[in-house]
Structure 1
Amino acid sequence: MKANLQTPAARESSGPRSLERLLALFDVLSTAPNGSSLAELSTLLGSPKSSLLNVLRPLVSEGFLVHDGNTYRLGPAIFRLASRVLHAWYLPRVMRPLMQQLARQTGESVMLSVSDVEKASMIYVDIVNGPHPVRYQIPVGTVRPLFASTAGRVLLAHSEAQWRRQYLAGVDLDAALATPLSKAALKKEIEQIQAQGIAWSMDVYMTGLSAVAAPLFGDGGRCVACLNIAGPTDRFRTHLERFRDLVKAAAGKGSKLIAAAEASPAAGAAAPLARVS
């Protein structure tokens, strides 16, 4: 048996106890807008200063905390994380009734996705499977590059302009797409999405799969998510115009609900479920 050569402070900063301290730390600092000193945190958390420093230093390094020499405050990274968590929590609650209605109207699977700018990707945060036995089905939490899907391109088209330029300049389009994609074609499609307010594709991500997608806007006109349907290309060829109209109309209704939820004092925390007619 190998001896445990960790120091007491190192053992204290690892495992479940460290996780409890980490969560308690964020809880304490969330109520201290002016920050707290190491001594104050040690007292409030009932933890030795040496153990706390093992937790605080990497959090400062990664931007989750800010240290000005005297006090520790919440940093930009934790606010970005909190924003993503908030969206992932309340967006499905607001949008699910509309998604269920859209699935009934189109017979196709309906997906809700958000972007992760730091990782230049998108993630599906809610999915309502279509009623057809032959349908497109993926699990919630699936992550894709922004350029590789119709929904991702909608999110890319409505991202911050400077970030989008940097993304397009550096992105590697060498992906296993059914239809090869060039940067010129991607830029042209982004311009079309911005002009038309909707996107669609057939046999792009994989042969036999098609999709229609539209942006969802929050308070102040920010694009916060994407609503899309996906399914077999044969059905989309027959109903494409109708599908585009239905998705665009659902996205318009959803945007109003999201904007109203974000404008409320709870920023959507107690947002009512959408009502659909």
Structure 2
Amino acid sequence: MDSTLPETSEKKEEFLDSLANGLQLLRIYATGVASVTVQEAAEQLDVTRAASRRILLTLEKLGYVRQDGRQFSPTPKVMDLGYAYFASLSLPSLVRPVMQDVARALGETCSLGVLDREHVVFLAREEAPKLLKLDLTIGSRLPAYAHSLGRALLSTLDDEALDQYLDNAELKRLTPYTTVSKTALRKLIRQVRSDGYSISVSELVDGFAGVAVPLRNHEGKVVAGLSVSMVLGARSPDELRRQHLPALQRAAATILDSMPRSGI
């Protein structure tokens, strides 16, 4: 038994409680919590107020949270951790070939994105040769409520997280067709949740449309969303559903098949 004690002691000494608590605090934000106070963080982490304050001020110093009075909220820099996560999974080799196939088959732009509070953030895009296209790059952020990919991701939130999003979201009329009623938007998102896909027409940019689906891992957890965006032309939402949704659904299934069964 004595031979095991040094190893156990060494492992305990190598575990950094402060780092673990800092990461756990970031996970609290990931559940949809918009901000926390020192006291709330202390209760969530089961640490003293002094320890909680040190953790929050360290994260603020590093740029991962911002302080507004007593409230601490995450900054977009937190997404750097997400980019590193996807990079560690060889995202280009995992997803881009499938996205390229979608772009070529449909002749439209295919995008991969994640939800960051009130925005959808793009992690990858594959363009089709088009005269008219949205000027977006990797890392671009768009309001989730007005984008098909954003709504697809919002639909995967539970009711409590969705209510919190709607309480905090500032719904601006970006076009004459933008849904700005929170009651109407909640109904639309719940319909997307039931359908398993999202179609948005002229809500972000007049004359543009999008179709999107969530991407899940083997445990059913949503890890991102996949969409195609296009100039609407004379096409109806039903035509978009028939022409574009099947290709997106097949692509999502292909990506799932290529994911490791542990890790994502």
Q: By the TM > 0.5 criterion, same fold? A: yes
**Where do 1:16-55 residues align within 5 Å?**
32-35=14-17
Letter in 1 for 2:177: T
1:169 aligned onto 2:167: yes
1:148 aligned onto 2:130: no
1:92–1:134 Cα change, 3 Å: same
1:220–1:210 Cα change, 3 Å: same
Letter in 2 for 1:225: A
* 1:160 to partner: Cα distance: 4.0
Which residue is 1:16 aligned to?
Answer: none
* 1:115 to partner: Cα distance: 1.2
1:254–1:123 Cα change, 3 Å: same
Question: Which whole-Å CA distance do the structure 1 matches of 2:234 and 2:102 have between them?
Answer: 15
1:212 aligned onto 2:211: yes
Question: Which whole-Å CA distance do the structure 1 matches of 2:59 and 2:14 have between them?
Answer: 15
Q: Secondary structure at the match of 1:172?
A: coil
1:138–1:164 Cα change, 3 Å: same
Letter in 1 for 2:223: V
Which residue is 1:61 aligned to?
Answer: 56
* 1:93 to partner: Cα distance: 3.4
Runs of 4+ in 1 over 3 A off after TM superposition: 56-59, 62-65, 80-83, 90-93, 133-137, 235-239
Letter in 1 for 2:56: S
1:250–1:109 Cα change, 3 Å: same
Letter in 2 for 1:114: V
**Gap runs ≥5 in structure 1:** 1-30, 37-55, 66-76, 269-277
**Gap runs ≥5 in structure 2:** 1-12, 19-50, 61-73
Q: Secondary structure at the match of 2:223?
A: strand
Q: TM-score, normalised by structure 2?
A: 0.66
1:112 aligned onto 2:107: no
Q: Secondary structure at the match of 1:229?
A: strand
Which residue is 2:33 aligned to?
Answer: none
* 1:177 to partner: Cα distance: 3.5
Instruction: Tell which deviates more after alignment, 191-200 or 172-181.
Output: 172-181
Give the number of the structure with larger relative contact order, counting CA–CA contacts within 8 Å between residues 6 or more apart.
Answer: 1
1:133–1:176 Cα change, 3 Å: closer
TM-superposition CA deviations, 1:33-60 (whole Å, max 9, x none): 2448xxxxxxxxxxxxxxxxxxx99862
* 1:159 to partner: Cα distance: 2.2
Question: Which whole-Å CA distance do the structure 2 matches of 1:255 and 1:96 have between them?
Answer: 13
1:201–1:153 Cα change, 3 Å: same
Which residue is 2:66 aligned to?
Answer: none
Q: Secondary structure at the match of 1:110?
A: strand
1:227 aligned onto 2:226: yes
Aligned identity (percent) is: 24
Which residue is 2:126 aligned to?
Answer: 128
Letter in 2 for 1:206: V
1:248–1:235 Cα change, 3 Å: farther
Q: Secondary structure at the match of 2:14?
A: coil
TM-superposition CA deviations, 1:210-267 (whole Å, max 9, x none): 111010002421111110000110175495112111112212222333xx32x34xx3
RMSD: 3.0
Q: Secondary structure at the match of 1:248?
A: helix
Is the Cα contact below 8 Å between 1:209 and 1:233 reproduced in 2? yes
Which residue is 2:65 aligned to?
Answer: none
Is the Cα contact below 8 Å between 2:146 and 2:200 reproduced in 1? no
* 1:173 to partner: Cα distance: 1.1
1:157 aligned onto 2:139: no
1:195–1:104 Cα change, 3 Å: same
TM-superposition CA deviations, 1:108-161 (whole Å, max 9, x none): 0111001113xx222001000112333444111111122121111111111244
